[in-house]
């Protein structure tokens, strides 16, 4: 409970006894707790977001030509190597995970595949032990942002590690 002291009305008069005023704040505390409870119960908490993952079905899934496949090797230092087509035969490009990096490469590759084959682009993501998990998530986000309909996450090979070493991304 709070107590307020009552001051004398005028300084020139005889001093009266000070009578403490008592204000009961119990009702206000109850109201505060009711409001807090109301806002906690009516607030929608952040719901977990999920990404759809489509797995191939059947024993022999349909093959995808390398002419419409873009491979993205996720390396260290928040960088990646991307190339369209067969490894070694294609022009490798060192990219980062921003709008001018991987996103631009995906858009350019999708336009090139559409012009050459009249089909859609398929992306193969190859994370390494040196790449950060966040980079894989950013790469999947860029794939979703560009509207690329298909991608796969695949293990790296010795050739992939050699390609990353050539670009200095396997440190």
Is residue 111, in this structure, part of any structural domain at all?
A: yes
9 domain-assigned: no
Question: Quick check: is 81 in a domain?
Answer: yes
- Are 79 and 118 in contact by the 8 Å Cβ rule? The answer is no
54 in a domain, yes or no?
no
Pairing state between β 80-84 and 69-74: antiparallel
pTM recorded for the entire structure: 0.63
Residue 140 lies in a domain: yes
Distance CA 10, CA 150 (A): 86
Please compute the mean of the pLDDT values over residues 40-44 and round it to a whole number: 81
Is pLDDT of 34 > 90? yes
Structural domain count of the chain: 1
Query: Mean pLDDT across the stretch 102-115?
Result: 89
Q: Which of 12-26, 89-103, 137-151 bottoms out in mean pLDDT, i.e. has the lowest?
A: 12-26
Q: What is the CATH number of the domain that holds 95?
A: 3.30.420
Name the residue range of residue 147's domain: 66-166
State yes or no: pLDDT of 31 exceeds 90: yes
The verdict on residue 109 lying in a domain is: yes
- Alpha carbon distance 31, 38 (integer Å): 10
61-107 pLDDT, tens per residue?
567 777 888 889 888 888 888 888 877 766 888 888 878 888 898 88
How many Å separate Cα 41 from the centre of its chain? 27
- Burial call 106-143: b when 16+ CB within 10 Å, e when fewer: bbebbebbeeeeeeebbbbbbbbeebeeebbebbbebb
The pLDDT value recorded for residue 65 is 76
Which of helix, strand or coil describes residue 124? strand
Residue 128 domain flag: yes
* Residue 75 near residue 95 (C-beta atoms within 8 A): no
- Whether residue 30 is contained in a domain is answered as no
């Amino acid at each position: 409970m709070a107590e307020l002291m009552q001051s004398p009305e005028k300084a020139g008069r005889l001093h009266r006894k000070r009578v403490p005023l008592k204000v009961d704040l119990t009702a206000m505390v109850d109201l505060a707790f009711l409001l807090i409870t109301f806002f906690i119960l009516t607030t929608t908490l952040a719901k977990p977001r999920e990404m759809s993952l489509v797995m191939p079905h059947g024993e022999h899934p349909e093959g995808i030509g390398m002419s419409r496949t873009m491979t993205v090797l996720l390396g260290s230092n928040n960088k990646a190597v991307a190339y369209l087509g067969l490894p070694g035969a294609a022009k490798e490009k060192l990219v980062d995970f921003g709008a001018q990096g991987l996103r631009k490469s995906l858009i350019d590759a999708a336009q090139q595949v559409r012009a050459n084959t009249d089909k859609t682009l398929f992306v193969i993501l190859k994370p390494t032990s040196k790449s950060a998990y966040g980079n894989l998530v950013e790469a999947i986000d860029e794939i979703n942002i560009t509207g690329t309909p298909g991608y796969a996450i695949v293990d790296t090979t010795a050739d992939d590690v050699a390609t990353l070493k050539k670009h200095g991304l396997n440190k």
